[in-house]
Amino acid sequence: NAGVMQNPRHLVRRRGQEARLRCSPMKGHSHVYWYRQLPEEGLKFMVYLQKENIIDESGMPKERFSAEFPKEGPSILRIQQVVRGDSAAYFCASSPSGGVSYNEQFFGPGTRLTVL
Amino acid sequence: GIQVEQSPPDLILQEGANSTLRCNFSDSVNNLQWFHQNPWGQLINLFYIPSGTKQNGRLSATTVATERYSLLYISSSQTTDSGVYFCAVGTYSGAGSYQLTFGKGTKLSVIP
């Protein structure tokens, strides 16, 4: 009965490097969401994906950030050429449905990204 | 976009006391969730409550969607209740998109 899994739990990168964050949704869930939490703040929506489709990326910065959820394997949030302002906790959530009937989101433990 | 306000921002309780946390939102919503973020940073689902009242042990929640607010009640608080409590509202937008908008949270400290 595994929940949402994220790895790595902690990631340290130097400015200019790439960061790759992985998320495996709960079993039976086909909807994945990424959120970012800055220190002392609530979570902010970044992107909503279904298998092989980006449904809504309106919360994601236009440059350097990308996300995917391939047919096989985990969802990936990729940050290129990281800057200090990217330091944050990145949470992934999944839900069984994106429809009105039942779409409770369950969150993974997060990846804490530190940019030196 | 929709605004979510939580109050109070900080709360200190003696162990055994009761408390009420409030969440106001600025527009109609499709769903509402309450979370507890523990001191290790993990988000725990407390309630999925678009309307009505639910209870789970010492916790209960009520959402009055027509008046755009939700309340989280904690009774007989314990030190393990410490952490940040988030309210998040779910809304649909065009093209099948759905997302949660979070408040800034209520930071609860329960002291022995």
Per residue in A39-97, pLDDT (tens digit) is 878 899 999 999 889 999 999 999 999 999 999 999 999 999 999 999 999 999 999 87
B68: distance to nearest CA of chain A, Å? 19
- Is residue B93 scored above 80 in pLDDT? no
pLDDT of residue A44: 96
Question: Given a cut of 70, is residue B2 above it in pLDDT?
Answer: yes
Q: Say yes or no to pLDDT of B84 above 80.
A: yes
Nearest chain A residue to B98 by CA distance is A98
Question: Model confidence at A100, in pLDDT bands (50, 70, 90)?
Answer: low
- Cβ-defined contact of A100 to B99 (cutoff 8 Å): no
Contacts of B4 in chain A (CB under 8 A): 42
CA dist B58 and B77 (Å) reads: 8
Average pLDDT for residues B30-39, to the nearest whole number?
A: 94
User: Degrees (nearest 5) of the Cα angle B27, B28, B33?
Assistant: 100
Cα B19 from chain centroid (whole Å)? 12
- Name the residue facing B102 among A42, A55, A89 (closest C-beta): A42
Mean pLDDT, residues B57-74 taken together: 97
